[in-house]
Amino acid sequence: MNFNEVKELISILDDSKLAYFELENEDGYIKIDKSMSRDYVPNKIQNEVSAIENKEEKQHNNTISSKINIKENMLSIILIGGIVVISIILLFALYIIISSPDFDKEKLYSKESSVLYYNDGKTELARLGQYDRALVNYEELPQVLIDAIVATEDSRFFQHSGLDVARFAKASVGQLIGNDKAGGASTLTMQVVKRAYTSGESHGIKGIVRKFTDIYMAVFKVESNYTKEEIIEFYVNSQWFGSTGSLNNSGFAGVEQACQNFFGKSVSDISLAEASILAGMFQNPGLYNPYTKPNNTRKRQKIVLTLMVNHGYITEEEKNAVLDIPIESLLVKKDNVANGDSRAAIDYIINEVANDTGYDLRETPMKIVTTIDKDVQDVLNKLEKGEIYEFPNEYMQEGIAITDMETGGLSAISGGRNYSARGTNRATTKRQPGSTAKILFDYGPYIEYLNGSPATLFLDEETTYSNGTPIKNADGKYNGLMTMRDALAASRNIPALRAFQAVYKENPDYIKNFVKNLGIDYGGELYESAAIGGFDGVSPVQMSAAYAAYGRGGYYIKPYSYTEATLLENGKVYNKTLEK
């Protein structure tokens, strides 16, 4: 009750017949009668009322203050929570940036294979490198393949900047609710990053870190430095498509070699049917291999074609026309790869090119024109397999080198039966040559320095080395006087030793110089045992080159296995310089 209300009550009391009235407060009742002063009563009551009002106002203010404090606390909690979340996001982003791999641009550029050609310069002997790969540029890709890849792998590739936000958000929600088919929403650019810089990790915290690393590098590294066309090139050239079954590489990669292996044609010539198969294989080359999994290939091809229809690249009629074509009719006959064929020759070429140029053919793409003759090499390959000669047991070995008498180049090499890559090459392994040394250490020098001839006579009778050690023929018999021709044809030891001794007696350096000029290293000292091949040893490659000198009038050419080596990166050519 306020002051004015009290005054009104007193006025009412004066005009009424009442003697008094009581007002209730916290301490009890206040009695007011007509005898009280009109100033006293209101002031007393006003004091009581004011106390009550002050108390109520204080309680009201306290209530308001409590409500304000709750709101402020809630706002503080929300603000702190927001700061924490933002801080975590910023720290995670910083971690992704700091921990991301170095942006080595060279890793984006897939390497081609080194190609070895037979001596005709056209027929391929082998492809070397990590993969059998031939690079193509964007202009060589048919539009139908580009459309198939974009429709299947990244429909908004030409619109986004490395991350398809809508697709990524959709996939993320799908994964959170447990949809296994939600996918990872990787764009083509992100897939290029994964192949070149990160890994295939897809689970747990490592998978999350890898995914955001892909996003960061795709958006801020690849897309900011390369055009969409260049990114397509990185994508199609880096994909592995299958095994070649060869020891020379780990399979074929890139769309060009994929088309050659599957369809027998260049990628620029493929049709919609072939492009839809190829585009489908990017997801899983093994699962959709048209040779081994034709049913899977058809299912995947149908998905690719449906997506191309949905995105407006082809019509429903074109899709159905392709699905009427049998998968098998599109494929070329797959030849069985002769695993390891010509391997010793290939290893020899690799070593020689490395020694001459400093480049390893397995790591640096080069084009090599070799001296290997395909027909001759095929004979040695069959020999190794026992196709043209039946070896008496599995332990008997051989090592063969065949030299072109005119050019001096190696026409064929066999490293032995069951030769393994980078293994013991018996064509280059030194062994005592036995009687094959007679023409080099005995009769050759005799003709050269003592004017001998095939008709020169030698006495085949019991004799010894100069130190008294006996020497015998293989049959233990003696044939008396024999011409050089007959003694060589019969491989008699005693006539050979007599020729050696005669030349050595005339001048010890004659034989030494003769054989060294033919590329033969007999060791530190020349002993008479060398007359019948008893020295440190010589390899089939060395012997073949030495014998070839006889066929070209005495001119020796150091054996070599290639004539031209070209760096594919810049076209620099290394021509083989012959040593005569």
Tell me the per-residue pLDDT of 510-524, one tens digit each, with 9 for 90 and over.
999 999 999 999 888
Mean of pLDDT values over 177-187: 65
Longest Cα–Cα distance in the chain = 183
| Dihedral sign from CA coordinates of 443, 449, 454, 457 | negative
Question: Who contacts 102 (Cβ-Cβ below 8 Å, separation ≥6)?
Answer: none
Q: Using only C-alpha atoms, what is the Rg of the chain?
A: 48
Active site residues: 153, 435
Q: Is the pLDDT of residue 334 over 70?
A: yes
The pLDDT value recorded for residue 326 is: 96
Q: Is the pLDDT of residue 23 over 80?
A: no
Which pair of tokens denotes residue 522? Answer: 């007999």
The pLDDT value recorded for residue 357 is: 95
User: Confidence band (pLDDT; 50, 70, 90) for 19?
Assistant: low
CA 325-146-571 angle, 5° bins: 115
The pLDDT value recorded for residue 299 is: 97
Which pair of tokens denotes residue 127? Answer: 């492809």
Neighbours of 379 (CB within 10 A): 16
Q: Which residue has the tokens 């081994």?
A: 292
SS3 368: strand
The pLDDT value recorded for residue 100 is: 81
Q: How many residues does the chain have?
A: 580
**In whole numbers, what is the pLDDT of the chain averaged over residues?**
87
Lowest mean pLDDT among 86-90, 168-172, 408-412: 168-172
| Dihedral sign from CA coordinates of 368, 373, 374, 376 | negative
The pLDDT value recorded for residue 205 is: 81
- The residue among 474, 515, 504 whose CA lies nearest residue 491 is 474
Q: Is the pLDDT of residue 33 over 60?
A: no
Lowest mean pLDDT among 242-246, 388-392, 550-554: 242-246
Strand partners, 574: 565
- Of residues 448 and 74, more confidence is placed in 448
Which residue type sits at 229? E
Mean of pLDDT values over 347-359: 96
Q: 241 near 257, Cβ under 8 Å?
A: yes
φ/ψ of residue 311, rounded to 5: -95, 5
- Of residues 335 and 91, more confidence is placed in 91
| pTM confidence score | 0.70
Q: Is the pLDDT of residue 142 over 70?
A: yes
Q: 369 near 576, Cβ under 8 Å?
A: no
The H or E element spanning position 127 is: strand 124-128
For 257-265, which contacts have Cβ atoms below 8 Å and span 24 or more sequence positions? 257/113, 257/131, 257/132, 257/133, 257/134, 260/134, 261/332, 261/334, 262/290, 262/291, 262/330, 262/331, 262/332, 263/330, 263/331, 263/332, 264/332
Q: 235 near 192, Cβ under 8 Å?
A: yes
Each residue of 549-571: pLDDT tens digit? 999 999 999 999 999 999 998 99
User: Confidence band (pLDDT; 50, 70, 90) for 345?
Assistant: very high
Mean of pLDDT values over 165-176: 75
Q: Which residue has the tokens 């890793």?
A: 107
φ/ψ of residue 322, rounded to 5: -70, -40
Q: 361 near 128, Cβ under 8 Å?
A: yes
Distance from the Cα of residue 143 to its chain's centroid: 27
- The residue among 110, 158, 161 whose CA lies nearest residue 136 is 110
Mean of pLDDT values over 377-399: 93
The pLDDT value recorded for residue 55 is: 60
Q: 348 near 427, Cβ under 8 Å?
A: yes
Which residue type sits at 361? L
The pLDDT value recorded for residue 37 is: 47
Q: Is the pLDDT of residue 534 over 50?
A: yes
User: Confidence band (pLDDT; 50, 70, 90) for 223?
Assistant: very high
Q: Is the pLDDT of residue 161 over 60?
A: yes
The pLDDT value recorded for residue 183 is: 58
